[in-house]
Every structure is written in structure tokens, then in C-alpha cells.
Amino acid sequence: MKKKSPLSGACRNYEEDLVLYYYAESSVAESQRVERHLSECMTCRRFVDDLRGLLPQLAKSQDLPQTFWDSYYRETVAKLRERDERNNWWRNLIAPMKTWLVPTFGTAAVAVLVLGLFYGKISVPSFTDGSSAKLPSEIIADTNQLEFFRSLDMLESLSQIEVPDGGGMKPKSDRSSLSRIEQTTA
């Protein structure tokens, strides 16, 4: 690089196109348009020459030795392996257990199932038998006694319907119902 006096910029309408032209990012039509202009405009030609002298110099700012890159690579790989180990610590923990983990869990599951069935079977009959024994004997209904009580209810209701004799309102239900009962039992 050597010092030169400053130059004027490119034509305002073409400056962006010239940058794209330098980077070979223009379409065919645009490139042709720019080349036609460059053939007529010395200022824009100098602008493109400036870019060709300047921009590659900025791109190659670092020429580092191979030892730097070897060291960089080793460091990066070491960091990656450390990160990988940290993320997968649980895999390292259960790796020794893999050989007996599945059989152990399987056996435990079967044992739990068997115990559950065993205890479940014993408890069902005792529950059923106990339920009737716990009820008081007075509550347990006897069919014959129910029929007797029903007949008494019927008699009582009939005596209430009968019309009393004479001046008294005294019902004769008691005497008449008793006589019917006697007839029934006889």
C-alpha cells in the first residue's frame, strides 16, 4: 500500500451498482450496464480500482501460523468433550447397572403382582361373611313375623271404619277385632 491523494467518489446513481459489480453479485443485464458506464466514466473506473486494491487487504487481516490452529482445534475439542460428559453424566451412572437392571425390575414387578393378588383374594370372603354377622338380630326380618304384623295392621284399620252403637262414640273396635282374631286363630 502507498499513500495517494484522496479521490472523489463514484457517480451517485452507480455507486451501489459498482459495489455489487466488484463482488460479482450483479445480474448479466446490470453488469453490462455498469461496464458501458465504466467505459465512459473515469471517476467510476477509479472507484472500482480502489475497491480492488482495498477490500482484499481487509479480508486477509489474519495470517496465523499452523501451530495456532492446531492449538485452537485441540482446545475446542477438549471443551466439546467436557460438555458432552457433563450433559451425559447420568448415562455414565447407570451404565454399570444395565446388565442387572431389567431382570431386577422384572422380578420386583412380578413379586408385587403376586402379593397383590394373594392379599386381595383372602380379604374378599371375610368381608362378605362378616357383613351379616355384624347386623343386630332385631333388624333381620323374619318373613312369618312380617305377615303377622301386616294382619294386625289390617285389623286395626278395619276397626276404625266401623260405626259406633248408641250414644257413645266409644268404638267397639277392640271387642270386635278381638273376636275376629279368636275366630281366625280357631
Please give the residue ranges that form the binding site for another protein (CB under 8 A): 1-7, 9, 15-16, 19-20, 23, 25, 47, 49-51, 53-55, 57-59, 61-65, 69, 72-73, 75-77, 79-81, 83-84, 87
- Shortest approach of another protein to residue 65 CB, angstroms? 5
- Which CB, 59 or 146, lies closer to another protein? 59
- Shortest approach of another protein to residue 62 CB, angstroms? 6
- Shortest approach of another protein to residue 35 CB, angstroms? 19
- Which CB, 27 or 131, lies closer to another protein? 27
Neighbours of 177 (CB within 10 A): 19
- Shortest approach of another protein to residue 22 CB, angstroms? 8
**Cell numbers standing for residue 107:** 422380578
- From CA 51, how far away is CA 54, in angstroms rounded? 5
Neighbours of 33 (CB within 10 A): 15
- Strands (DSSP E) found in the chain: none
Q: Is 47 exposed, middle or buried (CB count within 10 Å of its CB: 0-12, 13-18, 19+)?
A: buried
- Which CB, 72 or 148, lies closer to another protein? 72
Instruction: Please give the C-alpha separations between residue 42 and each of 11, 38, 52, 137, 182, in angstroms, as whole numbers.
Output: 10, 7, 15, 125, 148
- Shortest approach of another protein to residue 75 CB, angstroms? 7
Residue written as cell 403382582? 113
- Which CB, 53 or 106, lies closer to another protein? 53
- Which CB, 18 or 177, lies closer to another protein? 18
- From CA 35, how far away is CA 26, in angstroms rounded? 11
